[in-house]
Amino acid sequence: MFKIKPVEKIPVPENVKRYLKEAIGEHKVLDDEMDRMLYSYDATRLSVPPDVVVIPESEEDVQKVVKICYENDIPITPRGAGSGYTGGSIPVKGGVLISFEKMDKILWIDEDNAVAKVQPGVITYKLQQAVEKRGLFYPPDPASYKFCTLGGNVAENAGGPRCVKYGVTREYIMELDTVIYTGDIIHTGRITLKDVAGYDITRLLIGSEGTLGIFTGITVKLIPKPKAKKTVKAVYMDLESVGKTVKDIFKAGISPSALEFMDKLAINAVEDFGHFGLPRDAEVILLIEVDGHPKALEDEITEVARICEQNGAKVEIAKTDREAEKLWEARRSLSPAVAKLGRTKINEDIVFPRSYLPEALPRLREIGKKYNLKMVNFGHIGDGNVHANFMINGLDPDEVARAEKAVEEVFELALSYRGSITGEHGVGITKAEFMRKQFSPQEMEIMRKIKRVWDPKNLINPGKMDLD
């Protein structure tokens, strides 16, 4: 787990560094020790320093850098905020890392067509705030939304709690400007809801983890901001009733804007961390948010509460926005709270078809017990996306070895239900060896050949997704 296969690193020769500096300006090309270290890691805490860090300020800068690197056989790795969980922005082969921190402008917001165009370095939250002021809404909300960037969101096809109702990043990208290996820019997609000319290159690029081209412009779809929302907390003493509740809510024709769960260990971790007043003896807590038209909302939240109660839960509807916010604060504090349980957090984001969760979750816990590991499960039960966390001492080789086996079994469990090894985090380097478990040799071959169409020399974010 979390090891980087030793690969030959490709140094950037002095003459290429000079070309880069001449092409885009000396101050945008960094190569001292400290800068290289600063751009060497992501949220996995794995680290490989690039040979050179480039901070472009325009699309033209990116074009020049890609052209120079490609002609000189230098690997190129794009990086947003470095908040990824699978090493996608780690320059495993060295070379040039392109950081988008200065390409952070919202270029325009078109209210009439409900679209906005941003540079890839714009922080997701910044876009959300800007459009909400105008009564519009950009739904995708990865946990890192306050610091991650839209470039990274597109590369990873980011999700979040709200995606159960609103869909993932893929559903909100209308157009992409992408620098391809030749240094040319391609413009794919349209700001129209319908456009069926040619292959859907835009969606091939979304979720490609920066391995096909480098995004320089992103046009997003916006929707009307929901007029109101309400939150219900439901406390369960058994898991089966939770599964039944989820089924019943969808059967009632209600599409919640969030449907989150935390298990007992997660509840206790949160309580140790922040004293939110959650019941420590509960088996599972569900947090359910419904949004929409105020009148429909009133009906729907009452119906949700009734369904939870019918399934044996102790139910509370948050009376004020303040009360609701406190519940969501507890949910958001899960990540830091869980991190306190061990030195090293292994955070896997597997997916099950929703209806199999009541059966799969106990089997997931069994894996933790079998390998004698501290395991915390929480996540997006409405879309079957479970964050299975092992909290280990990364310095204990025996514990690490057990965790490696456990992670493999976790993936196998998800795939045995025809789920996925990743719902939000992507594959990057940490899940690369598991691609072959999810995909057949023919499927892998097609993906590798597509990679080669876009990157004949394998220099664009190489070493990721088992596509080399």
* Contact set for a copy of itself, span 69-108 (CB under 8 A): none
Nearer to a copy of itself, 52 or 131 (CB): 131
* Partner residues linked to 76 by β-bridges: 96, 460
- Residue 245 is a binding residue for a copy of itself (CB under 8 A): no
DSSP state of 252: T
Q: Based on CB atoms, which residue is closest to a copy of itself, 97 or 115?
A: 115
- Using DSSP's 3-state secondary structure scheme, residue 176 falls into strand
3-class DSSP state of 218? strand
Of positions 8, 34, 193, 322, contacts a copy of itself by CB under 8 A: 193
Taking the complex as a whole, the smallest distance from the CB of residue 48 to a copy of itself amounts, in Å, to 22
114 binds a copy of itself (CB under 8 A): yes
Between residue 283 and residue 312, which ones bind a copy of itself under the rule CB under 8 A?
Answer: 292-293, 295-296, 299-300
* Cα–Cα distance, 113 to 10 (Å, whole number): 46
Find tokens 């790795």 and name the residue.
Answer: 77
Q: Which residues contact 273 (CB under 8 A, 6 or more apart)?
A: 333, 336, 337, 340
Q: Cβ 156 to a copy of itself, closest distance in Å?
A: 6
Distance CA 264, CA 334 (A): 12
**Interface region with a copy of itself, contact rule CB under 8 A, candidates 243-251, 279-287, 333-341, 366-374:** 243-251
3-state SS class at 359: helix
Q: Which one of 31, 71, 167, 326 is in contact with a copy of itself (CB under 8 A)?
A: 167
Bridge partners (DSSP) of residue 232 are 288, 317
- The span from the CA of 29 to the CA of 97, in Å, is 10
Q: Name which of 39 and 181 has its Cβ closer to a copy of itself.
A: 181
Strands across the sheet containing 173-179: 106-110, 115-118, 214-221, 173-179, 185-189
Residue closer to a copy of itself (CB basis): 6 or 441:
441
Report the site for a copy of itself in 326-365 (rule: CB under 8 A): 351-355
Quote the tokens at residue 170.
């893929």
Report, in Å, the least distance between residue 281 CB and a copy of itself: 29
Enumerate residues 6+ apart whose C-beta is below 8 A from 67.
182, 183
Strands (E), 280-342: 284-292, 314-317
Distance CA 320, CA 213 (A): 46
Specify the stretch interacting with a copy of itself by CB under 8 A; choose among 19-27, 110-118, 273-281, 338-346: 110-118
- Where residue 374 falls (left for φ over 0; alpha for ψ -120 to 50; beta otherwise) is beta
Residue with tokens 């921190």: 101
Nearer to a copy of itself, 4 or 191 (CB): 191
Contact with a copy of itself (CB under 8 A) among 420, 433, 458, 468: 420
Of the residues 65, 109, 206, 301, which one makes contact with a copy of itself according to CB under 8 A: 206
Least distance to a copy of itself, CB of residue 201, Å: 7
Separation of first and last alpha carbons in the chain:
20
> What is residue 386's three-state secondary structure?
strand
Report the residue number, 30 or 116, with the smaller CB distance to a copy of itself: 116
Q: 171 or 271, CB closer to a copy of itself? A: 171
Instruction: Give the range of 9-17, 47-55, 252-260, 362-370 binding a copy of itself by CB under 8 A.
Output: 252-260
Output the smallest distance, CB 372 to a copy of itself, in A.
29
Per-residue x/- mask for a copy of itself, residues 365 to 404, rule CB under 8 A?
---------------x--xxx-------------------
Q: Which of residues 428-467 bind a copy of itself (CB under 8 A)?
A: 431, 435, 438-440, 442-443, 446-447, 449-450, 453-454, 465
Q: Nearest to residue 388, comparing CAs of 286, 285, 236, 263? A: 263
Q: Is 425 in the site for a copy of itself (CB under 8 A)?
A: yes
- For the chain, the helix, strand and coil percentages under 3-state DSSP, each to the nearest 5: 40, 20, 40
* Amino acid letter for position 198: G
- The nearer residue to a copy of itself, 222 or 338, going by C-beta atoms, is 222
Is 207 one of the binding residues for a copy of itself (CB under 8 A)?
yes
Q: Taking CB under 8 A as the rule, does residue 130 contact a copy of itself? A: no
Give the range of 9-17, 141-149, 337-345, 424-432 binding a copy of itself by CB under 8 A. 424-432
Tokens 């480098």, residue?
A: 214
**Rounded to the nearest 5°, which phi and psi values hold at 310?**
-55, -30
299 or 321, CB closer to a copy of itself? 299
Residues 6+ apart with CB under 8 A from 180: 66, 186, 213, 454
Binding status of residue 135 toward a copy of itself by CB under 8 A: yes
143 binds a copy of itself (CB under 8 A): no
44 binds a copy of itself (CB under 8 A): no
Tell the smallest beta-carbon distance from residue 11 to a copy of itself (Å).
Answer: 30
For a copy of itself, which residue of 255, 333, 393, 458 counts as binding (CB under 8 A)?
255
